Amino acid sequence: MTTAEATTPDSVGRTVSTIARLPKRRDFLRIAAAKRRWAQPGLVLQTAPTPDDAEKDAGTIRVGFTATRKIGNAVVRNRARRRLRAAVREIIPTRARPDLDYVLIARATTGARDYAALRDDLVTALERCDALVGDEVGQA
């Protein structure tokens, strides 16, 4: 049985992780307190090591999304979060380190930014936060 993920050249030889949501506010605060962050025009990425006591299955990467009222009304915030979730589904499972938790913060330009540029912003932020899987660092 072959899947599209298994036959895509970018994912050959890598395991595909699943994505879980960060459910608690304390997780968002813990990641923000770690002060590992990188801002790009389309998003802000924060990372922190996954705590040992976290309820986590092997191969699961935990990701949280946030968009403040500063970027716009509910429609704008929801659109920005949807776009961030779509980019994360494409990039994080194969290219991000599974031992970290991630929070993506939407910016005012997230909703209107070209999707390819938004994906590039995520890859660059992962690289700057030392969150890319080892063999990916030079291929942003």
Instruction: Compute mean pLDDT per 10 residues along the chain, 140 residues long, and list them.
Output: 50 64 90 92 92 71 93 94 94 88 93 93 92 59
pTM above 0.85, yes or no: no
Residue 56: per-residue pLDDT: 62
Tokens 């770690």 correspond to: 34
For residues 104 and 66, give the distance between their C-alpha atoms in angstroms, rounded to a whole number: 6
User: Amino acid letter at 71?
Assistant: I
Q: Which fold would CATH assign to domain 16-131?
A: Ribosomal Protein S5; domain 2 (3.30.230)
Tokens 């990641």 correspond to: 31
Tokens 């999304």 correspond to: 65
For residues 38 and 126, give the distance between their C-alpha atoms in angstroms, rounded to a whole number: 8
